[in-house]
Amino acid sequence: MICKIFVFALFCLVEFSNSCLFPYESETRQTKSLNGLWSFKVINGSSLTPLLEESDKDVIKMPVPSSFNDITTNPAVRDHFGLVVYQTKFFVPMSWKDGRTRVFIHFGGVHYLSHVFLNGIKVGTNKGGHLPFEIELSANLKVGANILTVNVDNILTPDSLPQGKTTNEKTDWSAKNVTTYSHNCDYFDYAGINRPVTLFTTPTIRICDVEIKTTYKDGRGFIQYSIDDCEDKPNSCEVRLYDKNNEFVTSESGPSSLGTMVITDVHLWWPIMSKHSPGYLYTMEMNLFGHDNSTVDVYRQPVGIRKISWNSNSLFINNEEIYLRGVGMHEDSDLRGRGFDNVILARDMNLMKWLGANSFRPSHYPYAEETLNEADSMGILVIMETPACSLDQFGDKIRQEHDRILKQMIKQHKHRPSVVMWSLANEPQTDKNNSGEYFSHLFQVAHSYDKTRPVTFVTSQGCKNDKAVKYMDVVCFNRYKAWYERPGRLEFIKDMIKHEIQLWHETYSKPVILTEYGAGSLSGYHSLPSTMWTEDYQVNLHEEHFKAFDELRGKGLSGEMVWNFIDFQVPQEYNRPGRCSKGLFTRERQPKAVAHVIRNRYHLLAEESPKTYSCKTL
């Protein structure tokens, strides 16, 4: 690929690998979904299975995409840790073996370690459960029937993200050791092929990656792009831009794959309920040409043009101050576990809009591409987080893995207008002395690849003992006043949370976001006066927080994010009935009383400026 040096002060592009384009169809590309019922078997051992014997009595049917844990009635399947095997058959037309076509498989997400076989031959491996990956199948593909087998290992280790551990315990009541598997995350660790699986074709020479950065200045929009065709041979390209009505806007062409498009009458991308038209997306059409100037490949990418900035007090979108009205979320639903489902996605996006929320944090891992596509188109802001949940060690091995996942996450999602911040981790033990150097390093890594967004991590430590927040652009912290801290004492909430937000801001002179606060409630459980676990107490707790928020907005507080959007599954334990019940909505996506309170507040916040809104209007 011929490249020219391009100097442009508003941008900084750095190349790195391990990302893949979303499998959109075009004039030169076909897609074929492999979603459906696959053959499935639990493996009690460590040996890989290149081909599954369909006649095996232990083989059952398993939906893809879906977590495998809640599908059967067998607790051994639900609680299994180790290998499982998925297998499906698909057919390939003769046109896919014409010598001019390459065939790839795109996995949206497989948790955690996957080994992929085609017709009994290993074609690829991937580590990490929350980012997409693709594998070329061309060499081993046959015309007609093909067998795809995926071995999935869900065991987490001290050096994986998230972390986990396996212990073997000797007891006086069993001749065998008792093996116990646990992980650091406070949610049920659903596993399997959780996201869609898609076959797609490309020409022999293809567009294999695209780097896009946008901003605007002096009323003009700028799109800087870099197109990679994964070839050493020169190929010319043309990039065309179309508005949301598919009307032509502008184009760039030439022998180079790197350039900048300037849009004079630009439609900016804005967040939902920001007094602007939200989620405006252009379509960027990339055409790759061969030596005879014939079209080789065509790929289209939605693009939103916007600028993010921040100072010591606030965050800004397109130079307008933005206050995050948001929620923390999990990919979690009945039966499907963490499995992607368009019905759940549509319901969640409608509930988000109903609430008046303008943001969410994908907790505590990157979400499915389809979810983020909707956030882009709706104008919902996203704090994108790595799967580093509750890190309790900071050695070289885990740092190398953290580096890898962070780079891949940024590479995969930095073209998205909805992503406004990178979060390095959730609630790591940053009171430890070596945590400061660890997160300082990750902060530098993140900004070496993307200087246009603030970088943070979410802490649960106190301001006086946290060793790493000082290196971040934004202070994000979780706190549960009158729940874990001084349970039942609603009267202390305002003073406690106000004091802590002010302390963080005065100490570091950075914008502060309360990324988690809330209380559990059992749907339908009421008490007057309110008591813990009732819907009434959950309402009262949030209202007391509002009093502090209203005094601090515009004075360093840049956002409030409720924990959690929905009730979600947790591991079995004696102090919770299988759920974290802090949701505004039940796991079935029906509102609790607090959802109406949050809706009232968020709509008022959207309609009024922070300086005129008062909690008394609720």
| CA 529 vs CA 267, 482, 532, 536, 581: distances in Å | 51, 15, 10, 8, 20
Kind and range of the H or E run holding 540 = helix 535-552
Extended beta strands in 24-100, E state: 31-33, 36-42, 60-64, 83-92
Token pair recorded at residue 450: 């993307």
CB 424, CB 383: distance < 8 Å: no
491 exposure class (CB count in 10 Å sphere: 0-12, 13-18, 19+): exposed
- Residue 228, beta-bridge partner list: 209
- Which of 106, 135, 100 is closest to 295 using CA atoms? 100
Quote the distance between the C-alpha of residue 21 and its chain's center. Answer: 16
Kind and range of the H or E run holding 449 = helix 435-449
The one-letter code for the residue type at 348 is: D
DSSP string, 151-213: EEE----TTSSS-EEEEEE--SS-SSPEEEEEESSSS----EE-S-EEEEEEESS---EEEEE
How many degrees, rounded to 5, is the angle at CA 364 between CA 339 and CA 461?
160
Give the list of residues 6+ apart from residue 409 with CB closer than 8 angstroms, or none: 131, 366, 384, 386, 422
In which order are the strands placed within the sheet that holds 101-107?
A: 31-33, 197-203, 101-107, 133-136
Token pair recorded at residue 132: 């997409």
Q: Decide: helix, strand or coil at residue 454.
A: coil
Strands 282-289 and 295-303: antiparallel
CB 376, CB 416: distance < 8 Å: yes
Catalytic residues, by residue number, are 427
- Which of 472, 471, 490, 469 is closest to 481 using CA atoms? 490
CB 132, CB 106: distance < 8 Å: yes
Give me the half-sphere count of Cα atoms (radius 13 Å) on the Cβ side of residue 442: 33
Token pair recorded at residue 219: 């009323």
| CA 218 vs CA 10, 133, 221, 488, 552: distances in Å | 12, 39, 9, 53, 32
